[in-house]
Structure 1
Amino acid sequence: MESKAEQLMAEAEKSLKGFSLAKYFSGDKYEKARDKFTQAATQYKACNNYAKAAKAYGRAADMSRASKNDVDVTTDLEDAARCYVKANDTKTAADLYAQVLEQYEKGQMHIKAAKTCVSLSEITEGAAPIKWLEKASTYYRMQGSRASADELRQKVAEAKARLGDYKGARELYELLARDTLNDAVLRSAARKLFFMALLTQLATFTKENVMEDVAELRERFEEYQELDPQFDHLTREHMLVKAVIEAMEEESVEKMEAAVMDYDKICVLDDLKEKMLLRAKQALVGRLHDLR
Structure 2
Amino acid sequence: MESKADQLVKEADKSLKGFSLAKYFRGDRYESARDKFKQAATHYKACNNYTKAAKAYERAADMSRAYKDEVDETTDLEDAAMCYVKTNDKKTAAALYTLVLGQYEKNQMHIKAAKICVSLSEITEGTAPITWLEKAAVYYQMQGSRASADGLRQKVAETKARLGDYKGARELYEQLARDTLNDAVLRSAARKLFFMALLTQLATFTGESIMEDVTELRERFDEYQELDTQFDHLTREHMLVSAIIEAIQEESVEKMDAAIMDYDKICVLDELKEKMLTRAKHALIGRLHDLR
Q: Could you say whether these structures have the same fold, taking a TM-score greater than 0.5 normalized by the shorter chain as the test?
A: yes
CA displacement at 1:81 relative to structure 2: 0.5
81-90 or 234-243: bigger deviation: 81-90
2: distance between equivalents of 1:247 and 1:19?
A: 81
5 Å matches for 1:201-212? 201-212=201-212
CA displacement at 1:87 relative to structure 2: 1.2
5 Å matches for 1:32-71? 32-71=32-71
Q: Which residue of 2 aligns with 1:165?
A: 165
SS in 2 for 1:207: coil
Q: Which residue of 2 aligns with 1:142?
A: 142
Give TM-score, length-normalised by structure 2.
0.98
**Structure 1 residue ranges, 4+ long, deviating more than 3 angstroms after superposition:** none
1:213 and 2:213 correspond: yes
2: distance between equivalents of 1:208 and 1:218?
A: 18
Kindly tell me: are residues 191 and 217 of structure 1, through their superposed partners in 2, closer, same or farther at Cα, counting changes over 3 Å? same
1:112 and 2:112 correspond: yes
1: distance between equivalents of 2:6 and 2:100?
A: 27
CA displacement at 1:19 relative to structure 2: 6.4
Q: Which residue of 2 aligns with 1:13?
A: 13
Q: Which residue of 2 aligns with 1:252?
A: 252
5 Å matches for 1:97-246? 97-246=97-246
Letter in 1 for 2:216: E
1:214-270 deviation digits (Å, cap 9, x = unpaired):
000000000000000000000000000000000001110000000000000000000
Give TM-score, length-normalised by structure 1.
0.98
Unaligned ranges ≥5, structure 1? none
SS in 2 for 1:26: helix
Q: Which residue of 2 aligns with 1:278?
A: 278
Letter in 2 for 1:42: T
Count of aligned pairs: 291
2: distance between equivalents of 1:269 and 1:156?
A: 20
Letter in 2 for 1:143: Q
Q: Which residue of 1 aligns with 2:90?
A: 90
Q: Which residue of 2 aligns with 1:26?
A: 26
2: distance between equivalents of 1:248 and 1:18?
A: 80
SS in 1 for 2:88: coil
CA displacement at 1:18 relative to structure 2: 5.3
Letter in 1 for 2:98: A
CA displacement at 1:24 relative to structure 2: 7.3
CA displacement at 1:47 relative to structure 2: 0.3
2: distance between equivalents of 1:24 and 1:90?
A: 39
- Alpha carbons 1:19, 1:25 under 8 Å: kept: no
Unaligned ranges ≥5, structure 2? none
2: distance between equivalents of 1:39 and 1:185?
A: 45
- Alpha carbons 1:251, 1:288 under 8 Å: kept: yes
CA displacement at 1:204 relative to structure 2: 0.3
- Alpha carbons 1:50, 1:87 under 8 Å: kept: yes
1: distance between equivalents of 2:41 and 2:167?
A: 46
Q: Which residue of 2 aligns with 1:2?
A: 2
CA displacement at 1:25 relative to structure 2: 5.7
Letter in 2 for 1:87: T
2: distance between equivalents of 1:235 and 1:277?
A: 18
CA displacement at 1:26 relative to structure 2: 1.4
SS in 2 for 1:132: helix
Q: Which residue of 2 aligns with 1:80?
A: 80
Letter in 1 for 2:183: D
